[in-house]
Each structure stands twice: as structure tokens, then as C-alpha cells.
Amino acid sequence: MDHGTRDELVGRLAEAVGSVTVAHPTRVAIDGPPAAGKTTLADELAVALRTRGRDVIRATIDDFLFPRARRYPRGEYSAEGCYFDAHDYDAPNRVLLDPLGPRGDRRFQHAVYDRTADTVLSPPVITAPADAVLIFDGVFLMRPELIERWDLRIFVSTALEKTVNRAVIREHRVSCRADVERRWRERYIPSQQLYFTTVRPTDHADIVVHNDEPRQPIWESRTP
């Protein structure tokens, strides 16, 4: 394991992205529990790569949710519902991951759904340069539906109890503490436990970032 500053971590990840040799855009997964720090890390890595001259596509699994009316057949607090019913995994494969992959034409869309408005999106189709980098963050990215699409797999690991406190802080303007805690303890944390039992995501990660202390992260390479 390596300890260091935040800048050192981001620099190390940018080097890892740069070391991937594929003839198509490099597809990077940043997986981890809700409130682990995935989006922040993904944004920081995107800035670092752009500084190095790479063309970066940023996307998130939250833009590939099913519409709200379809997401909760098992109830709003169901952990199984969170894992099985929330995301349309065919969509990112169809419009983003496969087009950027080895047999794709690099013509992609970065989203199909607007979570805030609960509406379907159809953004313009864009053609990516062959040396572009996709930075894609979200939960459950090592699932069987997605696992083979990634060229670099990063897992952001945080003690699940810490994610509850982070979520309360993050969502205090839109949700009361009791509602956030209920969603985390009944839906999000058990869904992560189901994911870990079913998929063992850290076993598939190339790099694991231990993010309990975001300013002093610890990271480990899991591949030779």
C-alpha cells in the first residue's frame, strides 16, 4: 500500500490511465459505495488528464437510471431494489461503453436520463478521438453486465458507517437527517453488502483507493 497526499494519488491514477495501451478510448471505472468520494475523485482525475492533454469524457451511472416510476417495485427502501431495479445497464453499454470499445465506432452519448427532472434525455451523438479517456463513476460498476467493458478499474473504499455521516452533510439542504439515515441503513448500505457478497468488486479492481481520510488517501495496486 502507498500513502500520500491527494495530489500524489491523483497523479498516480493519471499515470495508470496513461499506461493503458488500447487502440480505442480508455474506459475507466471509478466504483465504490454512495458517498465514498467517487465523483470528487473522478472530477479531479479528469482535470489532471486534461492538463496532460487528454480529451476526457465524464459520465456517471446516475445518468443511466430507470425512470422513477420503474425504480421502486420492491419499495423505496429496498436494498434488493437498489441493486436489481435502479439502473438500466443495457443503456450505457449501448450508447457509451460499446461505441468506445474495441469494436465501436466511437460515436457516443454520455447520458440517457435526467435524474433531477425524471425525464429521458437524448443528448447529441459525439465522436470521440481514439485517444480519449472516459471517466465513469458510480455504484455497482463491477457487476457482470459491465465488468468486461472497463480498461482500468478503480474502487474507492470507505467504511460504510462513514458514508452515512458524509451523506447527512451532503444532503442536509434537501433531506432531514432521519430520512438520509433511513435510506442509507435500509437501502444503500445493505445493497452494497449484497454487491460485495455477490460480486466481490475489490477482487476485480486494478487499483483500490482507501478514502476514509480523503486528504491522506491510501492506495494499492491489485494487478502486476
On whether residue 187 sits in a domain, the answer given is yes
Q: Is the predicted pLDDT of residue 209 greater than 60, yes or no? A: yes
Q: Are 49 and 133 in contact (CB under 8 A)?
A: yes
Residue 207: inside a domain: yes
In-domain check, residue 2: no
- 30 within a domain of the structure (yes/no): yes
Please indicate, yes or no, if residue 70 is contained in any of the structural domains.
yes
Residue 1 lies in a domain: no
The answer to the question of residue 27 being in a domain is yes
CATH code for position 145: 3.40.50.300
Total domains in the fold of the chain: 1
1/3 Cα distance (integer angstroms): 7
SS3 43: helix
Which residues form the domain of 47?
12-221
Q: Is residue 6 part of a domain?
A: no
Q: Phi and psi for 2 in degrees, rounded to 5? A: -115, 135
Q: What is the pTM of this model?
A: 0.93
pLDDT, tens digit (0-9, with 9 covering 90-100), for 87-115: 999 999 999 999 999 999 999 999 999 99
pLDDT at residue 168, rounded to an integer = 66
C-alpha cell at 16: 495508470
Tens-digit pLDDT profile for residues 121-156: 999 999 999 999 999 999 999 999 999 999 999 999
